[in-house]
Amino acid sequence: MGISGWKAKEWNGSGSVRLGEDGGQFRVTWNNTNRALPDAVPGRGYSNNGVGYREFDVSMNKSFYFSGDNGYGTKRVNEAGQMRSVGRWVGATPGGKAHAQALVYISEVPRTNPAGDRSSNAIDITVAEWASRSVRSEYESLHRHTFGTGGEPVENLSLSNKTEALGEIQNSGMTYMVFRRTPGDMGEKASYFILRKYNQEYQDGYRLATVDIKNLVSSIDSKDSAFNGLSNWYVSVAGWEVTGANASAGTFEYKCYAMPKLGEASGSTAPSGCWS
């Protein structure tokens, strides 16, 4: 298991990460002081999601970067089980664009070389379990606009002009809206943003989030004809992440988290009593 992060070079502000034992507390506090988005394209949203949003990402994950790390990079999606976390916003849900999520990278070919490029022949999937109102409102509006139930005209939204709404899927008893950007945000074949439809803000304490990787990818495959046979691709990364973009500030805390050992049915062990 390891920690990884990324930030746009234009990102400004402060941030800190507090870690407990593996599978235990993972807390991120930040203040993104970027206010303007100068690379917006009028009528078409932002030309580059990472740069336009001035964001950072911090995640605890299992990946092919760590040699022999539980089958990542060499095991297929259809051998993956569940990943779980218990998390909350500490204090008010942030303003601006912020979300906490499960992150899954899948690759068309096995990944065993840590020096290799994880973006080529890959797809990244973000499952946003907690999201600020700013994030929710724009994606929900695009979803409603696409499926004829109202919402803002697409040209008024500040989403990347590559973003498409694909409908809804079920995973672990919850409903999610599916969005795709092609190509992906960091050069992948595609980036999928999967947004939990209900109870996104969670201001009243910790909540459990469960993502079944095998079922998730199968549902995306059945919803989107752009790619076929995704369940036969390889899982190269799985983790829990916090993202803070322009004009956002806040604290998100995972009380505990678990990613699966590929080929087993459930996530790795977290501290005793965390899931209760």
Please report, for residues 74, 121, 210, 222, 238, the alpha-carbon distance to residue 231 in angstroms, rounded to integers and kept in the order given.
13, 14, 19, 11, 15
The pTM score is 0.87
Cross-strand bridge partners of residue 124: 105, 191
Mean pLDDT of the chain: 80
pLDDT digits (tens, 9 = 90+) for 144-159: 989 987 777 776 677 7
pLDDT digits (tens, 9 = 90+) for 54-98: 778 888 888 887 655 688 888 999 999 889 999 999 987 787 788
Full set of structural domains in the chain with CATH: 2-258 (2.60.120.180)
pLDDT digits (tens, 9 = 90+) for 183-201: 887 788 999 999 998 865 5
